[in-house]
Amino acid sequence: MLTSMTGYGEAQELFQGSTYIAEMRAVNNRYFKARLKLPDTIAHLEDKIERMLRQQLSRGMVTYNLRLKDASHNETLNINEGILNNYIEKLRTVSSLTQMKDSFDVSSLLMLPGVLIPNTPDDSLLENLKAFVLDLTQRALDRLKEMQAAEGAALESDLKSHCQQIKDKLNKISTRSGVVLQEYHDKLKQRVEILLTESAAELDQATVAREVAVFAEKSDVAEEIARLDSHLVQFEKNCETDGPVGRRLDFLAQEMLREANTIASKAADAEIASMVIDIKCSIDRIKEQVQNVK
């Protein structure tokens, strides 16, 4: 079954009085790329989470965000007195140089970088938090994959529909090719007979047969039809294969377009040319949709 690269997953749960929310979005990308944003207290889990995403998603641009809700009442902060005193001393120096009166707003001082620092959790709490975050991430990832699977099923149905349209056109082209050859034979024979009638000469059937044979060789698209049909079979078979197949499907679509272009260049018939245009439109749609496949 095909899997889309596009999806969204979310999971949230309470831990130690704070609500943790894990969100991830995935969009198309030729390779795997992740953008992660975590709270400072668990930033060390970034590499582990990225490996988890890489192993289970393999392709796509993934944006992961872990945020806390209502965490302020539960998080104890300490004041780094050394840094705070350093700020105050420097501000006083600036005040004396500018002959301005000291006027320090405590709330503004506390917002300066490094003044407020969160308490460092003990090792036991860190281990529990690590297990909690990884489990929460996995649940969000599972929901993302569920959406990708649902979109992949829709993609597979659409792709197979276009493949069937191409097959129908190929059958018509194959049938039409024989008719075109017979029409060319009849027209050539008729023209030669008209010319020979005017000159009172006799028709050389061998010459007509030779000209028809040359035309048949130049306009024969049976080999291209067979190759294109083979690509369609492989394409549909890969659609039913588990695992990442997007790159292979993209390659097969390019090969299908190559065969269609060859048929168009060899076809000496307006009806066949029109059907080839329809085939190329279906292939373009396939190439567009394949970009969404993992």
State pLDDT tens for residues 268-280.
778 888 899 999 9
Report d(CA 67, CA 144) in Å as an integer.
17
Element at 240 (helix H, strand E): none
CA dist 83 and 96 (Å) reads 20
Residues 6+ apart with CB under 8 A from 184: 212, 215, 268
Tokens of 68: 């806390």
pLDDT in tens, 1-59: 888 999 999 999 988 878 899 999 999 888 899 999 998 778 889 999 999 999 998 88
Q: Whole-number mean pLDDT of the chain?
A: 81
Q: Does residue 9 contact residue 147 with C-beta atoms inside 8 Å?
A: yes
Residues in the chain: 294
Query: What are the tokens at 198?
Result: 């005017």
pTM: 0.67
Interhelix angle 246-266/270-290, rounded to 10 degrees, is 170
DSSP 3-state of 221: coil
Percent of the chain with pLDDT over 70: 76
169 burial level (CB within 10 Å; 0-12, 13-18, 19+): buried
| Residue 138, pLDDT score | 96
Element (H, E) at 152: helix 123-199
pLDDT of residue 99: 65
